[in-house]
Chain A
Amino acid sequence: MEPGVKKRAPQRLQIYKAIHPQAFLLTAISSFVLLIGVWLLLSTSGVVNPIFLPPPQAVLTELFVQLGSSEYWGHIGISVFRVFSGFALACAIGIPLGILAGTFKYSEAFIEPLMEFIRYMPAVAFIPLIMVWAGIGESSKILLIFIGCFFQLVLMVADLTRRVPHDLLHASFTLGASRWQAIDSVLIKAIRPQLMHTLRLILGWAWTYLVVAELVAVNSGLGYTIMKAQRFLNTEQIFVGLIVIGLLGLITDRIMAYLNKRMFPWA
């Protein structure tokens, strides 16, 4: 090799460069370890009062205590039920409406400006109204989750539908598809993987609205356990509630990501 010509080593951190799945997993785990490490340090060194920040081992113990009680599983069950009911309702109405809004300009004009308008009203601000309308039963929680998800979902699905390459649609027309056949065999088919992605996002919001719904006038659910724990300054239990909600979210998200890969290998 010529003197002065240095062989350039490939850079470790390359933009967008794929890494080994194991390296990815290890890095992901390390961030959790780091978080717990900082937590451990802060709570055991006595810098922070354990009433504000209980040590992780105390939270872990509390977690197992709670998971050992059938009452807690009841809270988990009712929360999951509320989230999925509100979410399913939002999907059942929002997805077809979104596809319609993304397909025809007239339906876009009819649906979207209205949705945009309502979208800017904070879902949480609906709570007093919801309580007047639906009382404090199950339907009020489901309704809040529905309001939190529905309007966004319609707009996002409409956008997905509009972004299907127009030439795919044209190709189907030149192959003899009618308008409805094109919607059925091209538009709906084309948006599926992206739609799944959108649903994952929306489901995350559903969990957020669940907790909001359960902070007011309820006596069941994970949000309620958190509220109750706060009343008794039981921070361990607050943490347990947060972690359980986080885990439930993570699990459903992973399941949906897995389904996406399995159902749409072509994407």
Chain B
Amino acid sequence: MNRTALVAGASGLLFGAGLAIGGMTNPARVRGFLDVFGDWDPTLAFVIGGALIVMALAWPIQRRMSAPLFTGSFALPDKSDLTPRLVAGSALFGVGWGIAGLCPGPGFAALAIEPAKAAAFVAAMLAGMVLARLVAGRR
């Protein structure tokens, strides 16, 4: 294991714990958050808020660093164009998120909670990713 993989593993561990504690691995709670016109459950607003507060502090630190702590250089997205593909893809994702109350992170994390259904979700998600490569090309 190199240092990048160790950092990524530690990050994934923390991320998965945060998802489970925050209720994101419970699809009923996620759908409750999206049910703003019905029986709204605001819990996820606190999850998103907590994560945004920490990351809002991390970005200014990143801008002052010339390189990451444990690897050679930063590799961050630099695209700024708003494309139909960005919006259409995000809309499709949102429909899927609303149907089952799962997005990618909780899908993987839930393998430790509801293995059969989480595995089915992950398998279908990978199939969708293959489909994306077929319709939009390799990237």
Same complex for A and B? Answer no
Residues of B within 8 A of A (CB): none
